[in-house]
């Protein structure tokens, strides 16, 4: 019987995908920023929710800057 080798989805072909790490670091940084500037508990909760979708804010501001 031959053993079947299953390649890892993250590191296929010897090249690792680091987008998850970039998103994770961005989430942590955004969460720290939003929580540290929060004036109440619920604003802090809103900050955590904003930190989850920070790439959408980034792309929106980039498109606005580029005039698209």
Q: Each residue of 2-15: pLDDT tens digit?
A: 666 555 555 655 55
Residue burial 11-37, b: 16+ Cβ < 10 Å; e: rest: eeeeeeeeeeeeeeeebeebbeebeee
pLDDT digits (tens, 9 = 90+) for 32-52: 999 999 999 999 999 999 999
Say what the pLDDT of residue 45 is: 95
């Amino acid at each position: 019987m031959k053993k079947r080798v299953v390649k890892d989805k993250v590191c296929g072909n010897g090249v690792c995908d680091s987008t998850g790490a970039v998103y994770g670091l961005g989430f942590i940084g955004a969460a720290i920023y939003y929580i540290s500037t929060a004036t109440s508990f619920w604003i802090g909760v809103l900050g955590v929710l904003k930190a989850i979708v920070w790439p959408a804010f980034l792309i929106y501001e980039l498109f606005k800057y580029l005039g698209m």
